Amino acid sequence: MALIIVLSVFNGFEELVISLFNNYNPELVISPATGKTIRLSQFPAEEIKKLDGVANFMQVIEENVIIQNGEKQHIGYIKGVDDQFALMSGLDSCIVDGSYKLTENGINYAILGSGVAYYLDFSLRLPDPSIRILAPRKTRGFNLNPEQDFSQANIFVSGVFQVEQSFDSKYILAPFSFVQELVDYDDEVSHFEIGLVPGTKLKEIQQKIKEIAGEQYLVKNRFEQQELLYKIMKSEKWAIFLILTFILLIATFNVIGSLSMLILDKKKDIAILRSMGASNLLIRKIFLLEGSLISLIGAIGGLVLGSLVCIVQMQFGIIRLGDAEGAFVVNTYPVVMQWADFVYVFLTVSIIGLIAAWIPSRQISKKYLGVKLG
């Protein structure tokens, strides 16, 4: 029961984190294998756009910048996107203050990560809801005033988003044309982001794009974009599984002890069975079967009880993450049950139970029971 509940909670957090990242990460990203930028004139963009399954193809510029709000400063990334970004991502649903708006009536707007807004002490309710962006110039010389090595621009802020801490504390979004002018890019972009038609086979389209783009470009899906994070989450889940399995191993000593006492208690019955012609193997099988049944009943009962607890949590959210409303992305522990977990848990418990039953059953001997069983 404990294994099922813990693994289901880990599954819930994993799906929650993946859904949050999917609100920001595109389905596919094309980036340079070496260097920082991609030259548009040298990239086969039109061939990729024509592929069946490609719904959106967006140019993106990302650059390190200094963000200023009055006396406050913060180093982060500015990401230049166009109107397709709202179609490819779910970021508009992650706005916690203001609204999702990049341009309106010819005016450019930026959207800040909640962490960036916190570090800048920024609020949309300020008399002047704008920030200053400083980006390093492509050609820098020696200047007595360091600010001359940066191109600067002011931009109004329309909203604040909250996805995940590593994004929220680094990124701001702005219109592609604004960022392009700020960093003085002409025929260059940082990478391309691709949105796919629903139902498209990801692996197949990814391989086709790799073949068209060539070895000088990397084509990554969502898992590969956050590969380290996903591997850490999987490792944590199975580390907990191993810890609880170790605790289960310790608990099986109860089964071993119970069967050993049962054997001692039934030594007269064993003698009667032996005198009636029961073989040594048959007598051992009787106790092995009983021990196995104890473990199997416990395993099935645990799976059923664990499932019920998970279903109750999914339906009613009884166990909460905290009392403060809105302090977390979700208010209750997320739970997702997976059939693979049930199979792994059942097999683990069954194997451990079988071993626990086999150990005392093989100890039936003259030494313990006073009957010759071989």
Q: Give the pLDDT confidence score for residue 221 in this predicted structure.
A: 92
- Written in H, E and C, the secondary structure of 181-228 is HHHCCCCEECEEEEEECCCCCHHHHHHHHHHHHCCCEEEEEHHHHCHH
Strand 107-113 and strand 150-161: the pairing is parallel
Q: Which long-range contacts (CB under 8 A, 24 or more apart) does 276-285 make?
A: 280/364, 280/373, 280/374, 283/364, 283/373, 284/361, 284/362, 284/364, 285/361
pLDDT band per the 50, 70, 90 thresholds, residue 249 = confident
Q: Give the pLDDT confidence score for residue 143 in this predicted structure.
A: 59
**Pairwise pLDDT comparison (362 vs 368), residue with the higher score:** 362
Q: Give the pLDDT confidence score for residue 223 in this predicted structure.
A: 87
Reported as a single tens digit per residue, the pLDDT across 153-166 is: 999 999 999 888 88
Reported as a single tens digit per residue, the pLDDT across 183-208 is: 989 889 999 999 999 989 999 999 99
Reported as a single tens digit per residue, the pLDDT across 85-106 is: 888 888 888 899 999 999 999 9
Every domain of the chain and the residues it spans: 26-225, 229-369
Residue in 287, 290, 298, 291 with CA at minimum distance from that of residue 348: 298
Q: Give the pLDDT confidence score for residue 259 in this predicted structure.
A: 81
| Average predicted confidence (pLDDT) for the chain | 87
Q: Give the pLDDT confidence score for residue 369 in this predicted structure.
A: 47
**Pairwise pLDDT comparison (133 vs 273), residue with the higher score:** 133
pLDDT band per the 50, 70, 90 thresholds, residue 327 = low
Residue 298: Cβ-neighbour burial (10 angstroms; 0-12, 13-18, 19+)? middle
Mean pLDDT computed over 292-314: 92
Reported as a single tens digit per residue, the pLDDT across 54-65 is: 999 999 999 999
Reported as a single tens digit per residue, the pLDDT across 66-79 is: 999 989 999 999 99
* Per-residue buried b or exposed e for 342-370, using 16+ beta carbons within 10 Å of the residue's own CB: bebbbebbbebbeebbbbbbebbeeeebe
Q: Give the pLDDT confidence score for residue 365 in this predicted structure.
A: 55
